[in-house]
Amino acid sequence: MSAMKNITDSWMEQIDVQSRINDAAHWKDEWISVYERRDSYIEHFLGFLLPVSSQREAKTMTDPSWGRDFDYSGGQIAKVRLRHTNYLGLRFRRFWGLEFGLCNYHLIDNGVTKKIARREIHERDTGTSDKILVRREAVLTFIQGTKQVLLWCVRSQRYSERKPNELGLELSTERFRQECYCYDFERMNLNGSQKAERPRMATMTQVFGKGIVRLI
């Protein structure tokens, strides 16, 4: 990708999302996002951390799809369901013996209460966002204790009213695959049902795939 991109092109090229797939710096904070969803007229984003069996590590990187990876998980960290108060997976909650209250999960150790997970939901006129944050050390201990590896699974779609040639984009589908990630990046004209949902939009780009996250 050319370094000479304007801000709009960089956003539509999804350079930030692509770099996040293989950049460990995104996972070094005390609190890490195990689930993140954003929906607006210009964007649909879904990203989450999914633990899978260590034996699946190499095989899962042969294809960008993550639908079957749920079958090989020893317990999801985030599990968001409509009309359910709990938003963490049962095995993760039991692993830590978590208690729920005031939209947060807590661990009580020797009489001391420690917050382990929190959820941030925002609804605005421009769109909605939903993010679940868990302490990094809790995620690391869980995957080590269950002998799993972490996948960051992502589907990111961004839309523009400008046509691809106006953005300097060439219509294409590219696959990027290395030992630690596999994802597709698509640039396309908007049509069909997607055009019906966003009639003003002319162009969509999409990142779809996954990468292995190392928490050390």
- What pLDDT, on a 0 to 100 scale, did the predictor assign at position 22? 81
Decide if 2 is inside a domain. no
- What pLDDT, on a 0 to 100 scale, did the predictor assign at position 36? 97
Residue 140 has pLDDT above 70, yes or no: yes
Burial class (CB in 10 A: 0-12, 13-18, 19+), 14: buried
Residue 16 has pLDDT above 70, yes or no: yes
- What pLDDT, on a 0 to 100 scale, did the predictor assign at position 84? 87
Please, are residues 130 and 80 in contact by the beta-carbon 8 Å criterion? yes
Mean pLDDT of the residues in the chain: 91
Decide if 170 is inside a domain. yes
Q: Residue 122's domain spans which residues?
A: 7-213
User: What gap in Å lies between CA 206 and CA 90, rounded to an integer?
Assistant: 32
Decide if 117 is inside a domain. yes
Q: Looking at the DSSP assignment, which residues form a beta bridge with residue 211? A: 152, 181
Decide if 1 is inside a domain. no
Domain total of the chain: 1
- Residues 44-99 have pLDDT tens digits of 999 999 999 999 999 999 999 999 999 999 999 999 988 889 999 999 999 999 99
Decide if 68 is inside a domain. yes
- What pLDDT, on a 0 to 100 scale, did the predictor assign at position 7? 41
Decide if 19 is inside a domain. yes
Decide if 141 is inside a domain. yes
Decide if 140 is inside a domain. yes
